[in-house]
Structure formats: structure tokens, C-alpha cells
A and B are shown apart, each in its own frame.
Chain A
Amino acid sequence: MVDFNELRKDFPMLNGKIMQKHPLVYFDNAATSLKPYQVINAEMDYYCNYCANEHRGDYDIAHRVDVEYENVRNKVAKFINCESREVVFTSGASMSLNMVAHGYALQNLTADDEILITDAEHASNVLPWFKVAETIHCKIGYIDLDREGRVTIENLKKALNPHVKIVALAQVTNVLGYSIDIKEFAKIIHQNGAIFVVDGAQSVPHMKVDVKDADIDFLAFSGHKMCGPTGIGVLYGKYDLLDKMDPLMTGGGMNTRFDTCGYIGYQYPPLKFEAGTQNIAGVIGLGAAIDYLEKIGMDNIEKREKELKEYAISKLSKLDNIIVYNATSESGIIAFNVKDVFAQDTATLLNSYGVAVRSGNHCAKILNEFLKTDATVRASLYFYNTFEEIDAFVEACKKGGDFLDAYFN
């Protein structure tokens, strides 16, 4: 039995942080998560005790950097169940998806091919594919969402056709928080002869993701949404696909040798994709974040967030001034509005009660054509949030109509 209240002591932001004269209630976890001391200290330890570059030095502390750096790669591999050589460090999910778009899609697709996405994807899983289509004139197809906003197997099957070579989907969508069964999706996508790219930015921090069991081809995620540092992320790719992929960046550390006549020998994956000095402190911090999450247990985290979400929905649904857009979604994301109040005004009122949420279209700009509202407020939960915080949030929501209080109290 995990004591989640006890875990809060690990987070400096959850110990006495005041916003607008109220204790901070941090419900913007889908944007970024808070960081525990374990992660902060791991980064500081690198800077204080073994600061050197990786893959270069001939001295003891440089050797230690190599060991710790590769050790995190092994941790990531174990965390998502793949081989270490299939783990590429990136700056985050956006970069990971761009690498697949530019390094794989651009090289391997033609004008006759099609890439399938949906209206519910984050800009990071839309715009890189648009860029590919702009360059090679392939087609971008859309899997229809059902009435609730979900991506279903039936609609996937309807959208698939022999031209589809890539299907790129979020495992958990970032505005509505619906999740898909990636294993089931992978099976059908592979039967169609396409590869399956999974945007795991909103799923990997919150649930066990097993890439081998699900048999997905690429997985992108960010460290900062899972208690890790900003500026570090991962691209998982099946090794034979990484091998066929072109590096987006070239430079130091990714070649074996080259001469000025044009002969270049690249490293094998994953080093082929890690040109230049890497975000070493970020990698070390990511390792500490994975240790932290695994100690709690991903199943416990998922269960905790479900309980919090159900509690929040049950309380919000009793208020007649609140519209919730995704009551049945599986994740800790709550998309809502206060009736007749613009989302940004609601977010400002909540700020005045110390509650951090996000208003807007959350980068999923095209989704608004489907939701039929200019904007929504998103409250997103993580395991360290509490039932008491939800109570405070719900109380603030009750005052939604008095949003100008934010400026006058």
C-alpha cells in the first residue's frame, strides 16, 4: 500500500508553495509534472561530483559519466521493455516524432503513400507529418473520432487502405484523455502493412507501457511529464527501423570516422541519432525519475489517478454550472467549462484560489472544430494530487460565475 500523502514530502513545490495567498493546487500535470528531490539531487550530483562529457574522455570521471549515462539507457529499456540499443535520447516527444517524420517517413514514403492521424492529436503529432506531406506530396488521412471523441478499432479499419504506410496516434490524447489499446491497434495496422508510431507523452508517465508486448514500431515520450527534467525525452524504435532511419542531425559523437573526400562512417543506432554533446544532466535526472516511478509502481500510479479522476467527476457532475466534456475518459485529464464563462476567465479565477489549470486549445487546435467550443479548461491530475485538493478545486469552480473576483479580492 503506497502512502501518497507521504510522497508529497519529496516534492519541494508541494511543501508550502503559495499562489495568490492559497496553497498551490497543481492541476496542470499534462503540461508538465513537478519534480521530486530525488530527480533534482541526481542532476545536482552530476554537476557537483562527476561533471564531464560522455563518450569522449580518457579519465576516471569521464568514464563514470559514460557508465551512468548508458545505465539510464538500460533503465529506460527495462521501463518500456525493449533492448537498450532501441532507446534514443532526444529533447522530448516533439523531437522524437520529428525524427521519425524526417528520418523515416521522408526517406521511405512516396507521393502514393498515406499517413493516418486523427483530429485529436497534439500539434507535435500533426505538424511533422504535414511537413512530410508538403515535401513528398503524400496524403494525410484522418481516422474519424466517434461521438465521444474516441478513436475506435472500427474507425481505424474504415480509414486503413493499401496506401497507408504510417499510422501515428497518441496512446492517451492530450485534451480529452481517451486512451487506445495500442496492442490491438498495432495488430490491425501491421496486417495492413503499415507501421505504428505511438505518441506516449500523456501515457508513459501514467501507466505501464510495454512496447514489445504491444508490438508497436515507434514510441515517443518526454521526461518532464513524468517527474523528470525538461529538455530530455526518448524515442523508442524497433532496431531494424532505427537502422533504416536517417539521422536528423549530424556531428560529433555520431560518426565513426570521416575524411574530407566525403567518406563518412556513422555509428550504429542509437548513437547515430545523438550528435553533439547530449543533455547529460537531463539523462541522469530521467534515470532518477524512472527509479522514482518504479518504486511507487506504475499500476499503483494508474489506479490512484483513476480514483482521483472519478472523485473529481462525481463532484463536478453535481454542479449545474459546469460542463465536463470527457467524463468517461480513462486518464486523469478533465476537460470542462463553466457555463457562459470563457475558459481563460475560469482559469484566472482558479488562479486566484491557488489552483493551476490551463485554458485554451492545448495545441490540439483542430479538435475545437469537433468539440464545438472556442476553448476549454483542462485540469490534469497526477499521483501526488489529493482528494482535498479536488475539494478546493470544486469549491473554486462553484464560484465560476464570479470570475471578476480574481481582480478585486
Chain B
Amino acid sequence: MPISINEMMMREIIMDHYTHPRNRREGDASYKTIYMDSDSCIDKIYVQAKIENGILVDVCFHGVGCAISIASTSIMTELLKGKTISEAENIIKNYLAMIHEEPYDADVLDEAIVFMNTSKQAARIKCATIGFNGMEKLLKGDK
């Protein structure tokens, strides 16, 4: 991800993942599943991962949500696929730090940095983190 990414590119990436979400499908029984919803918003998303020998060999999701929740979860699935559990945890940690305006390592986030402005719309932080929070829970449960 080039450092010079501009606003127009960020918008395009979000819209692309919203209108054409990657890995939006239902995994079979071999996947671990976490259901994420909230009483204060209307996103309802299932996050799924297939983990073999400490590696996330596949990551997918399904459900309904706003542009921010769908696009961020879609980007997350691409980002985490093929990573080890500890690599995934590091990515999640840095992503959440970015969202909450704390120091973070942009290098590990790749496309996910398009959500760096989420704090402008504080009510949507839960949308931009629904997939990442779900995956964090899922991985914790797998330990």
C-alpha cells in the first residue's frame, strides 16, 4: 500500500469492497463462527475462519450491514487469509489502534488503512470494527 494513497482512492476501495465484498459466503462445519450484532446498530454479521495448524487457511463472512461494516469485514478477510494466528492478532491489534486514534503500524494493515477516518463519525466505529472484533473473539476462543 503506497503511503501516498489519496482520498479518492480510499473512497474507491471502500465502495469496491462494499459493492463487491470478497469472501462473502458461508463456510461449512469445519469453520469456527462468531455472530456479531449490536443493540445500538443494525449490522448483523457472521465471521468465519478455518484454522489448520495455527494458520487461518480461509476466512469468510455473511450477514447484513452498512457500507463501513461490509467493506471493513471484506478487507479483513483478504488481509487475514493465510496468516498465522499471531500474525492475525497483530494485524487486528494495529487496526483497532488506528480506529481508536492510537499509534499503529500502517505497514501491516495494507488496504485496511482506508478506514483511518472512521473516528470522524464516532457512531460508526462499531461498524468499522465489527469484523475485526469478531475475529479477535474467534481467535481467542481457539487458543
The chain A residue sitting closest to B43, CB to CB, is A344
A406 within 8 A of B: yes
* B-contacting residues, A56-115, CB 8 Å: none
Quick one: which of A338-363 are within 8 Å of B by CB?
342-345, 348, 351-352, 359-361
Q: Which of A352, A360, A403, A406 contacts B41 (CB 8 A)?
A: A360
- Most B CB within 10 A of own CB, among A343, A360, A407: A407
Q: Which of B26-76 contact A (CB under 8 A)?
A: 41-43, 64-68
Q: Which of B85-93, B100-108, B121-129 contacts A (4 or more CB under 8 A)?
A: B121-129
Pair B66/A404 contact, Cβ less than 8 Å = no
| Cross-chain contact A342 with B65 (CB below 8 angstroms) | yes
Chain B residues with CB under 8 Å of A345's CB are 66-68
Q: Which bracket fits the contact residues of A?
A: 10 to 19
- The distance from the CB of B63 to the nearest CB of chain A, in whole angstroms, is 10
- Whether a CB of chain A sits under 8 angstroms from the CB of B11 is yes
Most buried by B among A348, A351, A375, A404: A404
Q: Nearest-CB distance from A373 to chain B (Å)?
A: 11
B14 at the interface (CB under 8 A from A): yes
Chain B contacts of A407 at CB under 8 A?
68, 117-118, 120-121
Q: Give the chain B neighbours of A374 by CB distance below 8 A.
A: 42, 64
CA distance A407 to B118 in the complex (A): 6
Mask of A207-246 contacts with B, CB within 8 angstroms, 1/0: 0000000000000000000000000000000000000000
Interface size on B, residues (CB 8 A): 20
**Which residue on B lies nearest to A405, using beta carbons?**
B11
For the complex, what is the distance from the CA of A223 to the CA of B43, rounded to whole Å?
Answer: 30
State whether A408 touches B117 (Cβ < 8 A).
Answer: yes
Given A348-B123, A351-B123, A352-B121, are A343 and B11 neighbors across the interface (CB < 8 Å)? no
Residues of A within 8 A of B41 (CB): 344, 360
Interface centre among B11, B121, B127 (most CB of A within 10 A): B121
In the assembly, what is the distance between CA of A408 and CA of B10, in Å? 9
Query: A404 vs B118: C-alpha distance in the bound complex, in angstroms?
Result: 10
Contact A403 B67 (CB under 8 A): yes
- If A374-B64, A408-B7 touch, does A348 touch B42 (CB 8 Å cutoff)? no
Q: Which residue of B43, B64, B65, B67 contacts A404 across the interface (Cβ within 8 Å)?
A: B67
- Residues of the A chain whose Cβ atoms lie less than 8 Å from the Cβ of B15: 404
Q: How far is the CB of B139 from chain A (nearest CB, A)?
A: 27
A408 with B11: CB separation less than 8 A = yes
Could you list which residues of chain A lie within 8 angstroms of chain B, going by C-beta atoms?
A: 342-345, 348, 351-352, 359-361, 374-375, 403-404, 406-408
Binding site for A on B (CB under 8 A): 7, 10-11, 14-15, 41-43, 64-68, 117-118, 120-121, 123-124, 127
